[in-house]
Amino acid sequence: MKKHVLTLAICSLVSTGVFAQQGAANANVEAEANMSAQASARDGASAQGSGSANAQAQVDGDAARDEAADHGEAVSTEARESASQAATLGAEVGERVSGTARAQGEAAVDSAAQRREQARERVNEARNAEIRAETNKQIGTSVSDTVRGEVQSTVRGAVQGSARNGGQ
């Protein structure tokens, strides 16, 4: 939709200039014909000569107007072609920019996914290390309690055995 609006705006600007140029050319031709007719009348030409000059000026004016119209049409056609080329070029550039932006966006998404996965792995590793440490602590406490209990039993047994043997 933006391409169509841009194309219409460009064509509108170009055609306005072409129509103004064509109008100016027509006005110049008419002014030139009028000046030519007035100059002929001032130079003392007869009424018939003046009419002939006016007729010639009219023919010259018509030819100049036709030439100006042809030139205006050629300029208008050239302007339309230029506008069409500009619109095509704009569309191509837009597609290239869009493709580049899409590729960069996909690369950013991929990079973010990799970073998220790496962070997840680090969190899992830290959690597993914490679990191992807690497990080792519990095992150490359990072993210590068991060893302490055995040592206490052995010491009690030795003390009781000594007390029995010492009393004899």
Q: For 85-121, what is the HEC assignment?
A: HHHHHHHHHHHHHHHHHHHHHHHHHHHHHHHHHHHHH
Give pTM, 2 decimals. 0.36
Query: Quick one: which H or E segment has residue 1?
Result: none
Answer whether residue 21 is part of any domain: yes
Q: How many domains does the chain have?
A: 1
Lowest mean pLDDT among 46-55, 103-112, 132-141: 46-55
Answer whether residue 123 is part of any domain: no
Answer whether residue 79 is part of any domain: yes
Place of tokens 């590729």: 103
- Digit-coded pLDDT (tens) for 111-157: 999 999 999 999 999 999 898 888 877 776 776 777 777 877 887 77
Place of tokens 């070029």: 89
Answer whether residue 71 is part of any domain: yes
Beta carbons of 82 and 74 less than 8 angstroms apart: no
Answer whether residue 48 is part of any domain: yes
Answer whether residue 88 is part of any domain: yes
Answer whether residue 149 is part of any domain: no
Structure tokens at 76: 């208008």
Answer whether residue 127 is part of any domain: no
- 86, amino acid identity: A
Range of the domain at 12: 2-116
Q: How far is CA 161 from CA 78, 109, 129, 167, in A?
A: 122, 77, 47, 10
